[in-house]
Amino acid sequence: MTERMEQLHLEDLAIGQRFTSGTYVMEAARIKEFAAEFDPQPFHIDESAAEASVFKGLAASGWHTAAVAMRLLATGGLPLANGIVGVGGEIAWPRPTRPGDILHLETEIVEITPSRSKPNRGIVTVRATMFNQDGDVVFVLTPKLLVPKRPKC
């Protein structure tokens, strides 16, 4: 990957452009720890309770899955100049993630809107789709990101 690829500015992006992230393995211990801190519900912490729940087995907090998606974007999945700064967007969790899942993201540029008030940047909407090792979609994130133009020399 070239330095240029690692630092994409607004001018470098085009609708339909796609990026693929690395992978991340979900681990039972981390699922339980994350949930104990941020989403202390039995189906994210205890296997027996999870079996009896709507999840029918231990499932990561959706916010743990979301945080892993962010890690995959920030570590090569979306090589934007000045980093990945979102103002908001949409999220969906079609299926839970589970211990042993191997996750990756495929991300596509879906909209590019240059800012009217701030000519040195724009808002870029991307759709990041997270798959597990079976090809199931487990998370879809459609954030609006602030992306700078290349600095004028």
Smallest gap from Cβ 39 to its own copies, in A, equals 5
The residue among 88, 20, 100, 112 whose CA lies nearest residue 60 is 100
Q: How far is the CB of 122 from its own copies (least distance, A)?
A: 14
Which residue in 99, 112, 140, 149 binds its own copies (CB under 8 A)? 140
Question: Closer to its own copies at the Cβ: 16 or 88?
Answer: 88
Q: How far is the CB of 16 from its own copies (least distance, A)?
A: 24
Which tokens go with 97? 């993630």
Q: Which stretch binds its own copies (CB under 8 A): 10-18, 57-65, 106-114, 124-132?
A: 57-65
Binding residue (CB under 8 A) for its own copies from 13, 66, 112, 123: 66
Of 13, 67, 81, 123, the residue at the interface with its own copies (CB under 8 A) is 67
**CB hemisphere CA count around 125 (13 angstroms):** 9
Angle, helices 28-38 vs 62-72, to 10°: value is: 110
* Rounded least distance, CB 142 to its own copies, Å: 9
Q: Which two tokens stand for residue 64?
A: 């743990």
Nearest Cα to Cα of residue 55 among 7, 95, 23, 26: 95
Among 92, 113, 133, 150, binds its own copies (CB under 8 A): 92
The answer to whether 80 touches 147, Cβ cutoff 8 Å, is yes
Nearer to its own copies, 75 or 133 (CB): 75
Residues 9-48: x/- map of binding to its own copies (CB under 8 A)?
-------------------------x--xxxxxxx-----
Count of CB atoms within 10 A of residue 25's CB?
12
Would you say how long the chain is, in residues?
153
Give the CB-side neighbour count of residue 27, counting CA atoms within 13 A. 4
